[in-house]
Chain A
Amino acid sequence: MANATLGAPVADIKAGYTAMVQRKRIYSGIVLIVFVAMLAAGFDLADERNAGGFWDGLRHVFDFPTELVKEAIEKAPALPGNLAKYFPALIETINIAAVSTLLGAMLAILLSLLSTRGLARWPRLIAVFRRMMDVMRALPEVVIALVLIFVLGGGPVPAMIAITFHTAGALGKLFSEVNENADLKPVEGLTSVGASWLQRMWLGVMPQVAPNYLSYALLRFEINVRASAILGFVGAGGIGSELRIAISWGAGRYDAAAAIFILLFLTIVVIDQTSSHFRNKLVRGF
């Protein structure tokens, strides 16, 4: 009876459905083939333009770590001394990350409030602040750091500025997404009693968004620790630059490099664990 009302025999529907499934499968197959071909061609090209070949390199992947570990074990008594020696550099790296997260988050709060509809101080400039954050987010840290190293000399400050700049853009975008979900009623209430823009934001918006802000800022801190280590390697201060020096000494002095690897690994794991613990707490609510 259902067939009769639909006005089509089951066989037709089945044939149509099968044809559709088949067409979808063919499209998926084509996409898959193109993807695999791109991957293979890209790999081939990268392999060709690389100084060492892939298959040759694969046999030597463990050479360097083995050498490093062997030497570190041989010189195990020197390890505590090395760890202590590079600890200040590690503190510097963490400080760079912490300060730039702090300053970047402050900037991001301002930028995000200025670029959220309903909260913005100057609604006409919302697009301008959004583009500003896009540019800040898009510029890789290393670019700013390298230019600033040329002007300001080596040391932690170029890395700090570079990471702050990027953090402000990245967090600003996330913060403004949080702001969009904020309830506007407290803001309206404050407006009705004649509160200024700063008061409205501080008393009406901040209490709502603070936990989410904190959670994002903690995650950013994890990312920034890694970034500040990398920037150290290209010339800014901290443990990255010590690592670069230690590695350039070459075989026979790998105990220092091993100590730095250990410090870096432990720091990242500890910070990741602590921060994810607190983030879970924040997101689940106080």
Chain B
Amino acid sequence: MAVADIGYDGAIARASAANLFRRKRLIAFGVPTIILAYLVYVFFAFDIPGLAERARIDNARILLADTYSHKVHVSLDNRSGETTVAIEGENKGQYAAEAWPAWVQRDGPSVVVELGEGEVVRFDPDAVRYAVPEYGIVTIRRTDGGIVLDTPSGEIPEWINASGTRVSITRPAGRVSVTRNRTEALRYFAGWELFFFTLDSPFADKSWAELASLAVSGDQVRPGQSNLVAMASDFWNNAMWRHRDVAWAIFETVLMAFLGTMGAMLVAFPLAFLAATNFSPNFLVRFGIRRLFDFLRGVDGLIWTIILSRAFGPGPLTGALAILTTDSGTFGKLFSEALENVDSKQIDGLRSTGANALQRNRFGVIPQIAPVILSQVLYYLESNTRSATVIGAIVGGGIGLLLTQAIQTQKDWEEVSYYIILTLLMVSAMDILSGWLRQRLIGRSTAPANS
């Protein structure tokens, strides 16, 4: 009957259904085609085919190997004739001359380095000899004319890279390089060496069980200091991994996020009242404040970071201020929207009891918007911890700075992985903290989409 009422016509219905199907078919094929075409365009615009040439697979290999292993350098200084054995070739990780590891040995004037898998390097006074099983002995001589390489077959295999001034041999067991001034053999070991204690600490070569028994035993390794305190201080001041500096950097990053977010809340809160239609009768004021919020948001964190770092110099304060400036705009917009959605009944009720404007706001408005504000602020606190990492990389503060430094020096990739793990833990911790606080303060609430 209803059909008859609106003048049902089979032909029209069929035509509109056919239309609908045609549209659906068009979308079903059109959208994937457009996406595919766009991806093809980007494939060439980003020069993905050329990526294989630009990519440094050797860098990737070094990066991967370094994240789970460390190398020990045995270096012979040709000027002084002295040999040193040092972890990662750093002074801080140098073995004392009488306490070399077992795989490095003196043999008269020579030094014998076992690289594992049967490969042995000898630093002899007249030459460097690298014995490779099933291949023979590679001899490298230093002459006045340059560096001369002799291989058993006379040909140079692909794992040797030789020029007149430098010979480097890269084998799975390790690496050897010889230049005019320096001969160096590297051997890889699994794990992050000296993560807890550097070699100058009395706890360096102790096992876990030994450390535990030392911690509870009464006789002090370092007189005047209990063993536990000595261990903690040696760990904290570890010169190789710089745990103290790293902890500071993490703290600085969190500080940036905290100061930025809370500062933005304090700035945006009063301004939001001026931008909300129901609290600010003056159109001009409202319009001005709203445009200010738009401006703060639109001029993006990157631009604020650059402008502010010119004035305040590198450091955590600059990062905090950059977050504060950008988020003031975001918070202002969110808060004023929350204010406009406030239920006026409660305010009217308060007015009927004779409450003044301040009391009406305190008891009628704040209780309504506090959950919204709190949940937004807590979400942004977590998200800003991540922003603070990248802002730190730009302004030079916090864990972002340490990361960029470690990556730019291109040698300590185990430190990079250490920082990455700590960053992950930091962000996750902030995520959990913010979620827990939200739960405690306002109960469950839906997440804003930009966290």
A229–B259 touching, CB < 8 Å: no
Q: With A134-B428, A147-B416 known to touch, is A46 a contact of B317 (CB < 8 Å)? A: yes
A50–B316 touching, CB < 8 Å: yes
Interface check B63, CB cutoff 8 A? yes
A174–B449 touching, CB < 8 Å: yes
Main secondary structure of the interface of A (DSSP, over half): helix
Interface check A132, CB cutoff 8 A? no
A189 to chain B, nearest CB (A): 20
Within the complex, which residue of B252, B255, B390, B450 is in contact with A234, where a contact is CB–CB below 8 Å? B390
Residues of B within 8 A of A113 (CB): none
Separation of A266 and B56 alpha carbons in the complex (Å): 37
A147–B428 touching, CB < 8 Å: no
B42–A95 touching, CB < 8 Å: yes
Near B by CB (< 8 A), chain A positions 137-161 give 138-143, 146-147, 150-153, 155-157, 160
Near A by CB (< 8 A), chain B positions 313-365 give 313-318, 320
A46–B300 touching, CB < 8 Å: no
A150–B302 touching, CB < 8 Å: no
Q: With A54-B317, A147-B63, A150-B59 known to touch, is A140 a contact of B390 (CB < 8 Å)? A: yes
B416–A46 touching, CB < 8 Å: no
Name the interface size band of chain A.
Answer: 35 or more
Binds A, one of B104-112, B155-163, B192-200, B304-312: B304-312
How many of B's residues come within 8 Å of A, CB to CB?
A: 68
Interface check A177, CB cutoff 8 A? yes
Q: With A92-B45, A143-B420 known to touch, is A64 a contact of B300 (CB < 8 Å)? A: no
B308 to chain A, nearest CB (A): 7
Interface check B119, CB cutoff 8 A? no
Interface check A119, CB cutoff 8 A? no
Near B by CB (< 8 A), chain A positions 110-147 give 134-135, 138-143, 146-147
Residues of B within 8 A of A35 (CB): 262
Q: With A143-B389, A153-B54, A233-B302 known to touch, is A39 a contact of B259 (CB < 8 Å)? A: yes
> Which of A64, A98, A230 has the largest number of chain B CB atoms within 10 A?
A230
Main secondary structure of the interface of B (DSSP, over half): helix
Separation of A38 and B261 alpha carbons in the complex (Å): 13
Residues of B within 8 A of A53 (CB): 312
Which chain A residue has the least Cβ–Cβ distance from B428? A138
Interface check A209, CB cutoff 8 A? no
Within the complex, which residue of A50, A60, A160, A265 is in contact with B315, where a contact is CB–CB below 8 Å? A50
Residues of B within 8 A of A57 (CB): 308, 311-313
Residues of B within 8 A of A219 (CB): 449-450
A46–B312 touching, CB < 8 Å: no
Residues of A within 8 A of B386 (CB): 138, 140-141
B317–A155 touching, CB < 8 Å: no
Within the complex, which residue of A50, A146, A170, A177 is in contact with B407, where a contact is CB–CB below 8 Å? A146
B258–A42 touching, CB < 8 Å: yes
Interface check A12, CB cutoff 8 A? no
A265–B317 touching, CB < 8 Å: no
Residues of B within 8 A of A247 (CB): 306
Interface check A188, CB cutoff 8 A? no
Interface check A45, CB cutoff 8 A? yes
Interface check B256, CB cutoff 8 A? yes
28 pairs from A and B in contact (CB 8 Å cutoff): A45-B316, A46-B315, A49-B252, A52-B311, A61-B308, A95-B42, A98-B38, A99-B39, A99-B46, A102-B38, A138-B427, A143-B389, A143-B423, A147-B63, A151-B63, A152-B51, A153-B54, A157-B48, A160-B46, A177-B447, A229-B302, A230-B390, A233-B302, A247-B306, A265-B298, A265-B299, A272-B297, A272-B298
A53-B312, A157-B51, A264-B303 given; name 12 further pairs at CB < 8 Å. A47-B317, A49-B317, A49-B397, A64-B307, A99-B38, A142-B393, A146-B393, A150-B59, A233-B394, A243-B302, A247-B306, A268-B298
**Residues in chain A within 8 A of chain B (CB atoms):** 35, 38-39, 42-43, 45-47, 49-54, 57-58, 60-61, 63-65, 92, 95, 98-99, 102, 134-135, 138-143, 146-147, 150-153, 155-157, 160, 170, 173-174, 177, 215-216, 219-220, 223, 226, 229-231, 233-234, 240, 243, 247, 261, 264-265, 268-269, 272
- Please list the 7 inter-chain residue pairs (A to B) with the smallest Cβ-Cβ separation, ordered nearest first: A50-B315, A51-B313, A52-B313, A57-B312, A50-B317, A142-B390, A64-B310
**Residues in chain B within 8 A of chain A (CB atoms):** 35, 38-39, 42, 45-48, 51, 54-57, 59-60, 63, 252, 255-256, 258-259, 262-263, 294, 297-303, 306-308, 310-318, 320, 386-387, 389-390, 393-394, 397, 400, 403-404, 407, 410, 416, 420, 423-424, 427-428, 431, 446-447, 449-451
